[in-house]
Amino acid sequence: MRPFTALTALCGLFLSSTSLVNAESTASSSRVALPRDFKPPQVFKNVNLVRNTNLEKGYLRETVNVVVENVDKQPQSDYYLSFPSDLYDKVGALEVRDKSAPEQGRFDVEATEFDSNSDFQYYVVHFPQPLAPSSQITLGISYSALNSLSPRPATISQTDRQFLAYSFSAYAPSAYTTVSQKTKLKFPSTNVPDYTTTDLTSGTDPERQGTSYTYGPYDTANVAPGTTYPVSVRYEFTKPVITASLLERDLEVSHWGGNLATEERYWLRNNGSQLANNFNRVEWTLSTYQQLPSSAIRELKYPLKPGSVDPYFTDDIGNVSTSRYRPGKIPNREGSLELRPRYPIFGGWNYSFRIGWNNELSAFLRRAVAGADSYVLKVPFIEGPKVSEGIQYEKVVVRVVLPEGARNVRYELVEKASSNGLPSASQIESQLSSHKTFMDTLGRTALTLTVEDLTDEARDSQLVITYDYSLWDGLRKPVTITAGLFTVFVAAWAIGNIDVSIRKR
């Protein structure tokens, strides 16, 4: 029985080797608590503010360039960004940079706790270096706002054109006095039947030029911070307003197979105008044949990385055959997966589905220079369909399943000189756990990242994961399985040699 005991102990050693990183989690940065009836100290002045509002997609995109001057006698490093309370929780991918030196990276931004008694909420921007008295800095502020556009009218006929409405203030919300400001709006077309005119300037306000409308410039040196001037616009938008209430994205790394498997699960809905009458299949067929614009989702075109193979498209019923994959004909050329849902998705309709594909792992994985047992994995944070009307994501969960035994896992998001559509790393929730699949012994290391309020502008963002994975980690599973099977055979042999006959001894 000694061989059986020794092999059992050896197998137990394999199974109890806990070099795997223990499961841990890092919650999103806590919001800054402000006193009741808080008012930002008036230590700054906005010398000039230009707000650019882009309405060409199904969500709001804004860029604010503001020249900020320190009017206090002491250096200041905390600048308060003001947002209306009804817009505060819809803001995503907020980013603040030095306009004159964007390559230096984004500034640290913290959210504050929501105050239901206040008309405005704040984000706190921390300057890398305090701004000296009487000095100026030009801030480039960019963000998106989800679910901030409303269809008007809310219901339309199947062949009617869709219009969206957007309401805002001609005076940009600010916690500080603004000397001069203006707002530029960019529409998807020249068909803007309704818009508010003001008497805040001596000329025509807004000034129209093609698809651009400009409110201002206004001299607001004597206007108190927080003053609003309601403005609304209604414009034609003949495309669907695509919203993903949830996107779950899984990437599974296999060193043994040299494969990177990707699967994405979508819960989509169309936030556009709903149908006033029942769906008419004949009208839909005619409009599709004539290629007329429609507010329904007809198809989604999904670019895939070069070398992608084995794509699939399924929904709650099963495999969806109305899809087409066009691999890149030229080496290093992206492929295209064209998805056509089972039915057109009109305003208020939902559709959930999943897609997946495989790639060669060598295109995304490299050995780290620091050590032979360290690896660097670089993958897109999200990919998603690429459509002109854009897609807004209310919640995104990205899970990267690393090989069994991977440890010392670290990650970072690659930033560029311009916005990558992601919030700062402190606003992304991360969790490290163990994911067990078939024939696993310890379970695979899984890094899960959760972020809210994203748009398809994050498609070009990159996630870099560094982890340690030795030769022994790669051999653990086959050695353990082999030892286990050998143990079973030895145990069977040992049991078979036991004399259980009944006889006089």
Is the CATH code 3.40.50.10860 the one for domain 44-236? no
Its CATH architecture, for the domain 24-28+241-472, is Sandwich (2.60)
Q: For the chain, what percent of residues have pLDDT higher than 90?
A: 64
CA-to-CA distance for 144 and 80, rounded, in angstroms?
18
Which residue type sits at 452?
E
Predicted confidence at residue 426, as pLDDT, reads 75
> Is pLDDT larger for residue 266 or for residue 288?
266
Give which of 14, 135, 163 is closest to 76, Cα–Cα.
135
DSSP assignment of 268-329, as one string?
Answer: EEE-SPEESS---HHHHHHHHHTT---SSB--EEEEE-TT-EEEEEEESSSB--SEEEE--S
Task: With a cut of 50, say whether residue 390 has pLDDT above it.
Answer: yes
**Contact of 416 with 458, CB cutoff 8 Å:** no
Q: Which segments of 55-162 are extended strands (E)?
A: 60-70, 76-84, 91-98, 108-111, 120-131, 136-145, 150-151, 155-156
> Is pLDDT larger for residue 18 or for residue 93?
93
Tokens at 210, concatenated = 């093609």
All CATH 2.60.40.1730 domain ranges of the chain, comma separated, are 24-28+241-472, 44-236
> Is pLDDT larger for residue 370 or for residue 256?
256
**Contact of 179 with 220, CB cutoff 8 Å:** yes
Radius of gyration of the chain (CA): 29
> What digits encode the pLDDT tens for the residues 178-215?
999 999 999 999 999 999 999 999 889 999 999 999 99
**Residue 505 binned pLDDT confidence (cut-offs 50, 70, 90):** low
pTM, to two decimals: 0.86
Task: With a cut of 70, say whether residue 306 has pLDDT above it.
Answer: yes
Average pLDDT over residues 102-116: 88
> What digits encode the pLDDT tens for the residues 205-256?
999 999 999 999 999 999 999 999 999 999 999 999 999 999 999 999 999 8
Predicted confidence at residue 10, as pLDDT, reads 38
> Is pLDDT larger for residue 84 or for residue 373?
84
Longest dimension (CA), the chain: 121
**Contact of 443 with 404, CB cutoff 8 Å:** yes
> What digits encode the pLDDT tens for the residues 116-142?
888 899 999 999 999 999 999 999 999
> Is pLDDT larger for residue 151 or for residue 38?
151
Lowest-pLDDT range of 85-99, 244-258, 407-421: 407-421
Task: With a cut of 70, say whether residue 472 has pLDDT above it.
Answer: no
Predicted confidence at residue 16, as pLDDT, reads 34
> Is pLDDT larger for residue 483 or for residue 474?
483
Provide the sign of the torsion angle of the four alpha carbons 219, 223, 225, 227, taken in this order.
negative
Task: With a cut of 50, say whether residue 23 has pLDDT above it.
Answer: no
Dihedral of CA atoms 402, 403, 406, 411 in degrees, nearest 10, equals -20
Give which of 311, 456, 319, 343 is closest to 389, Cα–Cα.
456
**Contact of 95 with 147, CB cutoff 8 Å:** no
